[in-house]
Each structure stands twice: as C-alpha cells, then as structure tokens.
Amino acid sequence: MPSRTPSHAESATESCSLYSDGQHQLVQKHYTEAEKFYQQALDKDPSSADGLSGVINTYFAQKQFDKAIAAANAQIAKSPNNSNFYDLLGTALFNGKKDLPGAEAALRKTIELDKSNVDALEKLGKVQVQEGSADQALALYLQFIKGNPREVTFYILSGELYEAKKDWNQAKAMYQQALSISPDHPLASNNVAYVILEQGGNVDVAMGMAQTARRGMPDLSAAADTLGWAYYQKGIYQSAIKQFQNDFTTEFLISPISSLVRKARFWHASQQREHSAEYRKKARIQSPTSGRSQTKR
C-alpha cells in the first residue's frame, strides 16, 4: 500500500517541531546541529520563515554572513513570492554586510509582495536613514500611518526622525499621538518626557512620564537617563544620582554626548567631582572630532 503524503498542516506542524529543536541547539551554541534541524524544518515546509530565520541566525552567530545571504537567496529561488524571505534577505544584507542598496531592494520587494509587512517598512526606513535619506524615511512612515492610524510604532519612529531634525513640536505631537493609542507605552512616554525637558517644559509632567517609561523599560539606559534628568531639574538630587549610577558602568559604550554633558553638569553641581571629571572625559572621547560615532540617547 503506497504511503500517504502528509498534508500541508501536518508538514507545518513537523516543521515547527524541528525549528524548536534547532532553537534548543542554537542556545547551546551547537551550530552544526542547529543548522541541520533548521534545514530539516525548511525541507518539511519550504515556506517556513522561522526555518530560514534559524539558518540565518546560525550563520550570523558564527559571523558567516555570506552563507546567511546565500541561504536566503536559495530559499527565495524555491519560493519567489514569499515576502518574509525577502525581509530576511534585506535584514541579512543590512546587518551582515552593510549593503544598503541591496537591503533596500530586498525590503522594497517585501513590501511589494505584502504591503502590510510592518517589519519590512520599519527596516526600510532605517536603511534610508543610513543612506542619508531621512526625509524619505519620514515620508514612508507618515504615508503608512495614513492607512494604518493605530500602528503605534510608526508614530514613535516618525517622532524620532522629527527629533533628529530638532523639530521638537512635531516630535512631541507624534509621541503624544502614540500615547493616545497606547497610554502607558514606555518608549513613547520616555520620548515625550525627553522632549519636554529639552524644551524647558513642565518638569512634573515630564517626571511622571519618565517614571512610566522606567517602570516599563527597567533595563534600558535611556529610561534611567531621562528620569535622572527629570529628577535633577526638579531638584531631587539623590534620586537623580541613583538613576545615573544604575548605568554608570556601561555609559562609555552607550550614552550620547548630550547625556554625558548633562550628567557632568549634574555631578559637578552635586559636588561629585570625580564622577564629573570622568563624564567630561568620556564626552570628549565621543565628540565627532574624535571619530567616535554617537548613539541615540
């Protein structure tokens, strides 16, 4: 009696199981075993974005970026209309090779196949920013918002681009729109608080929003920074010190110049001379003339 061909649902279920096995191996850094399981997941279900993602992540963990890109292209050849595969290709090109034109082309193909793919839209905008086309990225996000007015992420992304242009009012308006949809959104709360403080606005309002952000993002340095700055402007110095001390050990790698300068000013005002000198030193090291790139607050 001939064997029965598994249904698509059965193949997808087995693919998910194999993907889980791959995840278990990847966590343990058993890369060869992980790749085998992920590939088996793809063999069972050629449309499995999880399977391809696993293969790519395995190669990335080993810094084998060319193999990751080749794997994505090979799967696209088998399923040329799978938008998720182009999304993964664009991500690999951007993160692995910094191939901005290639990443943009792949992400545009993703959106062509699936206009609702918000992940690809977000990444396309970020690629455009890296290409020096921030205005195009902003236009992309604003256009998406028109058809998807409940997508909180794109209000925040747009706000950050306005913020980069020092258009504080538009930035604040975008963040507030995000909060009207998701009132306790931690990132939107943090960014509104930051803008209020930068504009010299109501410190009490900013502090309340910064506290919301800190509760929602307890491990994010930016939230500690914003709340500490709010406490400082309110004159609650000991609370400010606690926030700044929370991420002092990692500050050298992650904090932008504006944050470091604020903290230097604060430590000086609080008579913490040693800390103040350290922050000023770091701010000089991270200045544009030193060749060190800045990161967002």
Residue 82 tokens read as: 């799978």
Domains, the chain, with CATH or none: 57-132 (1.25.40.10)
Q: What is the pLDDT of residue 103?
A: 98
Residue 51 tokens read as: 């399977």
Q: Give per-residue pLDDT as tens, 42-62.
A: 999 999 999 999 999 999 999
pTM of the model: 0.78
In this predicted structure, the answer to whether residue 253 has a pLDDT above a threshold of 60 is no
> What is the DSSP track for 116-148?
T-HHHHHHHHHHHHHTT-HHHHHHHHHHHHHH-
Residue 250 CB-density burial (10 A; 0-12 exposed, 13-18 middle, 19+ buried): exposed
Question: What is the rounded CA–CA span in Å between residue 57 and residue 54?
Answer: 5
Type of residue at 98? K
Q: Which of 10-14, 45-49, 290-294 has the lowest mean pLDDT?
A: 290-294
Q: What is the pLDDT of residue 237?
A: 82
pLDDT band (50, 70, 90) for residue 33? very high
pLDDT band (50, 70, 90) for residue 71? very high
Q: What is the pLDDT of residue 208?
A: 97
Mean pLDDT of all residues belonging to the chain: 85
Residue 74 tokens read as: 């090979």
**217-247 in b/e burial notation, b at 16+ Cβ within 10 A?**
beebbbbbbbbbbbbbbeeebebbbebbebb
In this predicted structure, the answer to whether residue 258 has a pLDDT above a threshold of 70 is no
178-117-137 Cα angle (round to 5): 60
Long-range contacts, stretch 101-109, CB < 8 angstroms, 24+ apart: 103/127, 104/128, 104/131, 109/83
Q: Give per-residue pLDDT as tens, 84-105.
A: 999 999 999 999 999 999 999 9
In this predicted structure, the answer to whether residue 259 has a pLDDT above a threshold of 80 is no
pLDDT band (50, 70, 90) for residue 252? very low
Q: Give per-residue pLDDT as tens, 97-149.
A: 999 999 999 999 999 999 999 999 999 999 999 999 999 999 999 999 999 99
Question: What is the rounded CA–CA span in Å between residue 228 and residue 248?
Answer: 12
* Residue for token pair 């060319």: 66
Radius of gyration of the CA atoms of the chain, in A: 23
In this predicted structure, the answer to whether residue 275 has a pLDDT above a threshold of 60 is no
Q: What is the pLDDT of residue 12?
A: 76
Q: DSSP H helical segments within 63-99, as ranges? A: 65-78, 83-92
Of the candidates 8, 1, 86, 93, the one whose C-alpha atom is nearest the C-alpha of residue 52 is 86
Question: What is the rounded CA–CA span in Å between residue 271 and residue 260?
Answer: 16
